[in-house]
Amino acid sequence: RSRGAWLETWLEADELGSDAVDATIDAWDEPYEGRIARDVAASLPEGSSLVVGSSMPVRDLDTYMLPRQGLRVLANRGASGIDGFVSTALGVSAAGAPTTALCGDLTLLHHVGSLIWSASRGYACVFVVPNNDGGVIFSFLPQRELPEFEELFTTPHGLDLGAVCVAAGAGHVRVDRAADLIPAVERAHEARGVHVVEVPIDRARNVELHAEVHAAVAAAL
């Protein structure tokens, strides 16, 4: 099928935007949620499954993941968007394919009972968890102007995910540099079992970085 001028314009814009995104986020040493989604999706071996959580992770994956073959991407949508996520990821892993789960801290904690019950029962799944201590998605929405924003929308938990993993019998590692994430995920897969790779994210800084990416794309176009 021949390509018309309209399609060529969109393809050129897509390439310019992708190049601007990569140049911007690859220059940062600090972890960024969009780069986490991009790098995890790109690095997983052929035949892997990637289970992605609701809220920001699925949006970041949609925005930053580059097209590729050989990766099965799955997601759930419950009444509140995060119901049963840990069990879903562990159930996918039981099928035998290498399984990685990308989810926020609230999603993991919302279903922490499954982690505690199942982590020592023979499953093999690596959870990559950008931890911004709450629901960062609301920082991008009009609710951020409300006086009760923290209590009703962000809902910071202040919990130590490492301690939760110890209680569950799951592996845990904290990653503070962007370049260290994929090696940490690969080591967790090699070790087998259930592991949580935690990436601390500053909520306010995350909003700023998203704005910088948007500005870079706008300038490129």
**What's the rounded Cα separation, in Å, for the pair 48 and 30?**
27
What count of residues does the chain have? 221
- What one-character DSSP code corresponds to residue 144? G
**3-class DSSP state for residue 211?**
helix
| pLDDT tens profile 13-52 | 999 999 999 999 999 999 999 999 999 999 999 999 999 9
Contacts of 169 (CB under 8 A, 6+ apart): 119, 120, 194
**Other C-beta atoms within 10 Å of 142: how many?**
7
Which secondary-structure segment (H or E) carries 127? strand 125-131
Higher pLDDT, residue 55 or 215: 215
**Per-residue model confidence (pLDDT) at position 77:** 76
**Other C-beta atoms within 10 Å of 169: how many?**
14
Is pLDDT of 1 > 70? no
Strands 194-200 and 125-131: parallel
Mean pLDDT of the chain: 93
pTM: 0.92
